Amino acid sequence: MKAMMGCGLVALILIAIVGGVLVWGVGINNGLVRNQVAVDAGWSQVENVYQRRADLIPNLVETVKGAANFEKGTLQAVIDARARATQMVVSPEVLNDPAKFRQFQQVQGELSGALSRLMAVAEAYPDLKANQNFLELQRSLSETEDRIAASRRFYNANVRTFNTKVQSVPSNLIANMFGFKIADYFEVDDPNVRSAPRVQF
């Protein structure tokens, strides 16, 4: 009788331990999922603000084209950089492929650089600086660049939180078991595009 009670007690203890481990594992897994969703949401915001910038550029280009003798090479560089940036299909796989992620960052950086040069050259054209449409586009572009910077910071903060959990003990055990991989930070490699384009006159 005592042996049966002892076996029953051991069985209950084992069931409690296994149940506790399962609850712990599910909790960690759910936390990792929440963090990964936050990374994806942050990425979606980055995409949105880059698209907003891409949408502003055609109007900016048309306005600048109206300025007499405006440097065509500078304008063409913006047009070409925008084309490369908008041709790159951005999908969730970009986040999981470091090479594609770097390529995305590179084309966006090239566009930022081309816009910076355009705005610097535009300072030499008094007609442009007096053009209300140009001034409005300039203001919208400046706001968008601020949003881009804020969105990248938000995305990187979510990546930091997620990566910390993926790499920390004991959550790394669950992360490895269920295939969670660290996410890439959004970085700007080109020192010429580390800051947003100057759009203030």
pLDDT in tens, 36-73: 999 999 998 999 999 999 999 999 988 888 776 778 88
Instruction: Answer yes or no: are the C-beta atoms of 57 and 85 closer than 8 Å.
Output: no
pLDDT at 6: 65
Rounded to two decimals, the pTM is 0.80
pLDDT at 179: 92
Select 39-193's CATH number: 1.10.10.60, 2.40.10.10, 1.20.1440.20, 3.90.1150.10: 1.20.1440.20
43 vs 107: CA distance, rounded Å: 16
54 vs 75: CA distance, rounded Å: 14
Is pLDDT of 196 > 50?
no
Please, which pLDDT band fits residue 4 given cuts at 50, 70 and 90? low
Residue 165 vs residue 101, higher pLDDT = 165
Is pLDDT of 178 > 70?
yes
pLDDT at 192: 45
Percent of the chain at pLDDT above 70? 89
Is pLDDT of 94 > 80?
no
Candidates 44, 46, 121; CA nearest to 78 is 121
Average pLDDT over residues 111-135: 87
Please, which pLDDT band fits residue 131 given cuts at 50, 70 and 90? confident
Candidates 118, 127, 129, 188; CA nearest to 155 is 188
Report the mean per-residue pLDDT for the chain: 85
Average pLDDT over residues 188-200: 46
Question: Angle 132-167/2-65 helices, nearest 10 degrees?
Answer: 160
Residue spans of the domains in the chain: they are: 39-193
Reading the block at residue 158, the tokens are: 């979510």
Average pLDDT over residues 94-123: 88
Is pLDDT of 166 > 90?
yes
Instruction: Answer yes or no: are the C-beta atoms of 110 and 78 closer than 8 Å.
Output: no
Average pLDDT over residues 85-96: 79
Q: What is the largest CA-CA distance in the chain?
A: 103
| Vertex 135: Cα angle to 129 and 136 (nearest 5) | 170
pLDDT at 195: 45
Is pLDDT of 112 > 70?
yes
